[in-house]
Structures are given as C-alpha cells and as structure tokens.
C-alpha cells in the first residue's frame, strides 16, 4: 500500500508517492560465507606466522645470517721438506696468478695488450692473442708469476685505458724445489692447489698441508662491514715440516754415478741405487734414473718425449706416471746372484754347511734338475768347491745343490722372516712386495732357480733391507725415510724412532756372511767393487729375462757393504736392460758402487784402512758375473 505524504512549500501543498518497503539485495548466506572465509584466512595467517616463528624460525635466522655473513678462507702454509743436514728440498712461497677477462678487453686494445703481456711474461704473442679472443669468462694466463713481473704488469695496467678488472692478479702459494731434479722420484711434487700428487709430497700430504682457517664477518650488499656486528676468527694451522733421512750430499754423489752408468751402458730401462745405514734402516740416498724436474713435473724428459705430440691423452699420462715412479719401491725385479747371499745365510744359520769345508759342492758346468739341464754361467766347470768358493765364483750348480739341501719349507720360512712376502713399511706410497711361487707349487726346478735368485721378483728396497739385516748382527730394521716432524707454529719437533723388526739370523752367521762378501770382492767376481784404502764386501748379480718376458732384458746389479768391520752403509745398484759392452753386474754395476764408496765413506768420516791381510784363500776365478 502506498501512503500519501503532504508537504507544505511556498504555501502550497506538494503531493508525492514513496515506497517505504526497502528490499535487502545481499543474501544472508553469502555474507556468512564471506565472513567465514575471512575468518579462516586470518586463522591460516596466524598459523603460518606461528610456523615461521617457532618451526622455521631457526632455519630462516641462519639463512638471513648467511646472506649477511662473509666467510674468508685463511690458507695454511704447507710445510717444508728438509734433508738430514737441514738443507731445504721443498718449500712454499707467496706468488700471484695473472687472470684476464677477454670480454672486458676491446678489440682495438687486444694487439697492444697481447704485446705487453707476451713481453712481460715471455710468452708467445700469438698464443696470448688466441686467449684474448676466447669466449671464456676468465682465463689464467700465468701461474706463480714472480714479484718483479707482477709489479711491471700492475704499473702498465694503471697507465693503460683498460676497463677495470680486465686484467687482475690472484694471490696463491707456489711450491719450489731448489735442487730441481735431485731425489725427484722420492720427494714428488704438488698440483696447482698445493696438494701432493706423488712421492713424499703425496704420502705425507695430510701432515704437510695443515688445516685452513677462516674469518666470518657480517657485510651488507655492497660488501661493506656492518658496524657493531660479531666477527669470528679461526686461525689456520700451518702444515708441519719434515726432515728426511736423505743426505743431499750423498744423494748428489749417488745420482752423479748412477746417471753416468745408465748412459754409458745404454740401459734402456734406467737404473736405481739405494744407500742404507744397516744399523738404523735409514735411507741415506734413494735414486732412480731417468729423473725429472720437480718444478716442471708435467714436462716429459728426453726418455719419454719421443712422438709426444702424437700421443693420446692416456698414453701421455702413462708415460708421465712411469717417469714419476720410484722404481726402488714400485717395481719388482729378479735379483739374480745377489740373492745367493740369502741362500748362503739360511744354510749357515741352519748348520747345513760350513763356509770353508772343501769339496762341499761340485760343478760340472751343468746341473740336471727334473730331467732339465740348467747350465752354469761359465762354460768351464768350477769343479769341487767350498761354500765360500761357490759364493766367490757365483756358481749356479753349487747353489742349486745348496737349495736342495735346505729345502723349500725352510727357505720360505726365512723368506718371510726377511720380509720378502710383505711390504717393508717405508713411509712412501706405491710400494710393491715380492712375487713368489705359492709354496705348494714349488717343484725341483722352481727350487733350483730360486736358490740362485731367479724366477721370482722383489723390490730393490726389499733386497737391500735383507742384506742390511745380514750385516747388522742379523737384525732386520724397518726402512726409515722421514726422520722427524716439526710443528711450524710451536717449533716442537717429534722424532720418528727406528724400528727393529726381528732377529733373522745370529750374529755368528752375520760375521760369516760379511767375511764371504769381503772375499767375493777381493778375489771373486766382484773385484771391480774394490775401494782403495777400505775393506769392503759385496756380491754381483746378473739376472736374465724369463722366456715369457724377453723384452725385460738383463738386470745387472751389485750390492756392497763398507767398511766390513763395522759396516756403516750398504749400497745396491741395479741397471736395467743394458745394451752396451756388457750386461754382467760385476763389470758394469760393481764399479758404480765402488765410486760411491770412494766418496761417501770419507764424507761419513770413515778412516781409510789399506790393510787387507785378512783376506781368506779361495779357489775362485777372476771372471765377473
């Protein structure tokens, strides 16, 4: 129903119509739904805030801190390596790498830039231009640049119009080896990250490296320090210094004569020499030739560089690995007649023979073993001999007879005692161990050949360790090459003690063996190992390759002891695959040891003694083998 309303205006009554029934256009249920949704969103927001606060709060706090914090690594200085006299063999120094950013160098600037860089750093200008035109974001142009060259570079960059950051330097630590090639296969080298890759540098890397430190501070987006914020500083623990048993003077003498012998006798597979103190097991020298330059270890030496540019990456890698190997410990060889010293010692210790009993053995020039004829090295038979005679003559038939007298079981018992079945434990990586027949597979032929040092292999270090035991009152010492470790932060030095492994033979056997070694040099096959003014002993060795490995060639070797009375050093030299005038150890290896003795014994303060009156009579011949 419409109600009428009268309104008086200008004394007139106006009449209009108005509907008083107002209609609500928003449905009630929609409004309620909207309010419920808003309420739920508010609850969800509260829950989310609570979750961020109480559940993810710590994690978000750490992320925020990480965005603001700046961590700087503090490099630890790598320890140095010294010889036994305190001479530095390896050390580190601060250096700089030169970095270029090709995209920041304009086209018209490249020629001048390449010219300057090639002049300063003695580089090929075309190679520098190639790098400047590279699409790489940045290139390390020069590593471990010297300070004077960096100063010259920085002066030129400052005067040039190059864009900021086009050329810059990065601080680094470089490794330096003052003696370059000396003891290279022993010391080893580091990579560009100062991590040891071979030799002592690798096997003692954890000791030499130390532990890096760090500095943690808060910085803003512009990398400026945020005031009043906490800063954490953890100092670096520098690497420890190592002092080796190697004597740089003895090492130099050894390497001089080893190199001479390898080159003169055309030894296609090189040579090795070890000098050991038998009373301590200390390695006074350990040399392999060919060697390489420790300051440029990836540059092939002349012995592996043939057709280098035509080799595949894997072939280059294999050759470099052979160049780096320390053959004294990584490669095994057939010791030949030097090993007769071991067979003789076992027989003496077991009281199977006496050293000077006449007619103990008979050599007809050939020994029949299991229907096989195994000849003596000399066509003319040695006939009747004592053990000393057989040793001096290096007679194979006599030692095959001795091997049968001793027997496989007893021989293997002593082989284990001498350490031929296991690694010596010297603290160098890559050490190999002897390779022998399984004892159950040793027949008459295997026993015969083992008795004079063939058809099994050992390392040169195992060979010299065993003979050192024989002249050290029968006590086997563990080889030692690291003498002490020094904490460079505190100066505290920790000595690495010598280790007696076991008593292998008696002192009486030891004295008899030394007497035999002396007579072998003075009247036997080792005459070229004599040293004027000193009583020395030794044993020659010449091992022929097996029929299945004829490419291996002969190994000529000689082990010497000096002086005989109170032995100070034992020296073993091995020459691999000689192609020169001779392949006999008595002719080409014995002189090497003699020359080493002639310089090293006086250096060690051993008095000269020209008296050789206690040389025993022998029926040995003057031939060398």
| Residues 145, 115: Cα–Cα separation, whole Å | 17
Handedness of CA 574, 412, 408, 618 (dihedral sign): positive
Name the E strands within 463-577.
Answer: 475-477, 482-486, 493-495, 500-503, 537-543, 555-562, 569-576
Contact 569, 593 (CB under 8 A): no
Residue of 92, 203, 337, 598 with catalytic role: 337
Contact 236, 213 (CB under 8 A): yes
The 10 Å Cβ neighbour count of residue 621 is 18
Which residues, including other chains, have CB under 8 Å from residue 586's CB and lie 6 or more apart?
525, 526, 527, 528, 529, 540, 542, 558, 623, 624, 625
Omega within 30 of 0 (cis) for the link into 290: yes
- Residue 106 Cα distances to 103, 163, 309, 549, 550, angstroms: 7, 9, 34, 62, 62
What are the beta bridge partners of residue 543?
555
Instruction: Enter the tokens of residue 473.
Output: 């009152």
337 among known catalytic residues: yes
Which of 76, 81, 78, 179 lies closest to 484, judged by CA?
A: 81
- Residue 321 Cα distances to 36, 195, 507, angstroms: 77, 17, 42
- The catalytic residue positions are 337
């Amino acid at each position: 129903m419409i109600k009428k309303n009268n309104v008086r205006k200008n004394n007139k009554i106006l009449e209009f119509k108005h509907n008083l029934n107002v209609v609500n256009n928003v449905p009630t249920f929609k409004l309620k739904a909207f309010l419920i949704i808003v309420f739920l969103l508010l609850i969800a927001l509260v829950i989310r805030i609570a979750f961020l606060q109480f559940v993810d709060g710590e994690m978000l706090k750490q992320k925020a801190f990480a965005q603001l914090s700046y961590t700087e690594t503090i490099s630890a200085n790598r320890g140095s390596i010294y010889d036994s006299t305190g001479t530095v063999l390896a050390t580190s120094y601060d250096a700089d790498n030169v970095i270029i950013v090709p995209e920041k160098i304009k086209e018209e600037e490249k020629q001048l830039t390449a010219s300057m860089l090639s002049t300063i750093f003695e580089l090929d200008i075309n190679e520098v231009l190639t790098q400047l035109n590279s699409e790489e974001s940045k290139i390390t142009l020069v590593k471990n640049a010297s300070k004077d060259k960096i100063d010259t570079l920085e002066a030129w960059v400052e005067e040039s119009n190059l864009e900021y950051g086009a050329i810059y330097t990065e601080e680094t630590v470089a490794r330096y080896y003052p003696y370059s090639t000396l003891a290279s296969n022993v010391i080893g080298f580091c990579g560009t990250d100062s991590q040891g890759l071979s030799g002592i540098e690798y096997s003692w890397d954890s000791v030499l490296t130390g532990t890096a430190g760090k500095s943690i501070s808060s910085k803003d987006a512009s990398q400026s320090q945020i005031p009043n914020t906490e800063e954490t500083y953890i100092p670096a623990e520098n690497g420890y210094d190592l002092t080796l048993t190697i004597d740089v003077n003895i090492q130099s003498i050894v390497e001089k004569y080893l190199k001479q012998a390898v080159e003169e006798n055309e030894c296609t597979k090189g040579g090795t020499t070890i000098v050991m103190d038998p009373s301590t097991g200390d390695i006074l020298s350990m040399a392999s030739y060919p060697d390489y330059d420790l300051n440029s270890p990836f540059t092939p030496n002349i012995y592996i560089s043939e057709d280098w540019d035509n080799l595949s990456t894997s072939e280059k890698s294999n050759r470099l690995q052979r160049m780096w190997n320390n053959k004294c410990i990584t490669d095994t060889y057939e010791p030949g007649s030097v090993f007769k010293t071991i067979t003789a010692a076992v027989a003496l210790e077991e009281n199977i023979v006496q050293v000077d009993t006449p007619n103990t053995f008979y050599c007809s020039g050939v020994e029949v073993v299991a229907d096989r004829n195994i000849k003596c090295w000399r066509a003319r038979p040695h006939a009747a001999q004592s053990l000393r005679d057989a040793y001096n003559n290096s007679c194979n038939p006599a030692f095959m007879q001795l091997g049968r007298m001793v027997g496989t079981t007893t021989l293997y018992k002593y082989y284990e005692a001498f350490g031929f079945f296991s690694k010596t434990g010297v603290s160098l990586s890559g050490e190999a161990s002897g390779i022998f027949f399984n004892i159950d597979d040793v027949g008459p032929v295997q026993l015969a050949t083992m008795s004079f040092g063939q058809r099994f292999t050992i390392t040169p270090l195992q060979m010299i360790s065993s003979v050192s035991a024989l002249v050290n009152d029968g006590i086997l010492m563990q080889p030692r090459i690291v003498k002490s470790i020094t904490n460079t932060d505190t100066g505290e030095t920790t000595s690495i003690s010598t280790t007696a492994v076991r008593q292998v033979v008696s002192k009486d056997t030891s004295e008899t063996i030394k007497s035999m070694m002396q007579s072998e040099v003075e009247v036997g096959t080792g005459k070229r190992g004599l040293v004027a003014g000193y009583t020395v002993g030794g044993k020659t060795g010449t091992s022929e390759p097996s029929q299945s490995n004829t490419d291996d060639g002969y190994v000529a070797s000689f082990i010497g002891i000096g002086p005989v009375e109170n032995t100070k050093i034992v020296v073993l030299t091995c020459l691999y695959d000689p192609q020169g005038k001779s392949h006999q150890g008595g002719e080409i290896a014995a002189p090497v040891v003699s020359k080493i003795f002639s310089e090293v014994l006086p250096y060690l303060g051993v008095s000269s003694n020209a008296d050789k009156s206690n040389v025993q009579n022998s029926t040995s011949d003057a031939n060398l083998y």
